[in-house]
Structure 1
Amino acid sequence: MARIPFPYIAFFLWIEPVATLVGAYFAWFQSDTYLQLQHAASSPSPLALPTGTAVVLRQLGNMYFVFAFNEAFVLRATNDLKVWRAFLLGLLIADFGHLYSCYPLGLQSYYDFANWNAIDYGNYPFVVIGASTRILFLSGFGLGGKKRKSPKAKTPIKSSKPVTRRSHVE
């Protein structure tokens, strides 16, 4: 089993799951605030929240919870790099999907950090930090890599003394 470096442990087992639970809480229990922060101009009033929207937000909150739970507990259950890589590759793909899902908010929403609110910090820099950390992990950064053995000589070492044969003839 491999030893996972502390920065990866801290991010993947603590920081990201806690941040994801915050998103789950707001999507499930504070749906109106979640929608207002996402895009105030198109957000319905809390009293007029369509039932379908409420259901979708609870489903989203549930998915955030599952992501947080799986990341925190599945990765805690093993130090097997094969499992970590497979799991984190799936999350990396989800990171790109998350970033793309914000595209309808306009291209400027990705870089207009002067106007970002709390949810924008989760949608953009936090997702980019998570994706970057996953890319570093998947590329083997800080994991020590496999140590290569020097190739063994295939030709015997020659001695400076000549080899003589002895016979046991009496």
Structure 2
Amino acid sequence: MVDIPIPYQAFFLWIEPAATLVGAFYAWSMPETYLQLTDKGSTPGLLGLPTATHIALRQLGNLYLAFALSEALVLRSTADLRVWRHFLLVLLIADFGHLYTCLPLGTGVYYDVLKWNAIDWGNLGFVYCGASIRISFLAGVGLDSKKSKLRSRSRSKKTIDARPDVNDTIVVDPPKEEPKTPKSKRGRKKKT
């Protein structure tokens, strides 16, 4: 196994899951605030949130929770570089999707940092940071390239689980031949 450098572990196992939980909390528990920070001009007024919007925000909060827990728990469960790369590639694709969802706010939102509020820093700034760290990891920055290539190739051939009960030798009996059935006597002529 390749040792995952501490900066990557810190970000992917602690910092990003914690930040994502904050987004989950706001979307789930404070949907009006979440919408107001996203785009104050289109936030519902005195009548409150439409039921569909409230449900959609709770679903968003639930997805943020799933994302945070998946990242923290899946990556904690292994030091297999292939698993980390595959998982982080999926999250990188999601980063670009997340950034695209902000397009209705105008292209200026992507770079006009002085106008960003708290949610813009989460939706854009933090996503830029996460995507950059994912790209660095996927490019092998800070990883021992000789060990990484060697482990990636050897892991693709055979995976061995560290649990002793899984690596026990299993003896498989060869398949038994089916018993031969006697041929029918019908249709045969007796030779006399």
TM-score strictly above 0.5: yes
Deviation for aligned residue 1:47: 4.4
Deviations 1:65-111 (A, max 9, x none): 00000001110000000000000000000000001110000011111
Which residue in 2 is equivalent to 1:84? 84
Deviations 1:5-35 (A, max 9, x none): 0000000000000000000000000000000
Which residue in 1 is equivalent to 2:125? 125
Coordinate RMSD, CA, aligned: 1.2
3-state SS, counterpart of residue 72 of structure 1: helix
In the superposition, relative to structure 1, how do residues 3 and 58 fare at CA in structure 2: closer, same or farther (>3 Å)?
same
Which residue in 1 is equivalent to 2:60? 60
Q: Give me the TM-score of the superposition, normalised by structure 2.
A: 0.75
Alignment of 1:1-170 (within 5 A): 1-45=1-45, 47-146=47-146
Deviation for aligned residue 1:124: 1.1
Amino acid at match of 1:20: T
Deviations 1:118-143 (A, max 9, x none): 00001111101100100000011111
In the superposition, relative to structure 1, how do residues 101 and 122 fare at CA in structure 2: closer, same or farther (>3 Å)?
same
Asked if 2 retains the 8 angstrom alpha-carbon contact of 1:32 and 1:45, the reply is no
Structure 1: which 5+ runs fail to align?
Answer: 149-170
Which residue in 1 is equivalent to 2:177? none
Q: Give me the TM-score of the superposition, normalised by structure 1.
A: 0.85
In the superposition, relative to structure 1, how do residues 38 and 143 fare at CA in structure 2: closer, same or farther (>3 Å)?
same
| Identity score, percent | 64
Asked if 2 retains the 8 angstrom alpha-carbon contact of 1:32 and 1:46, the reply is no
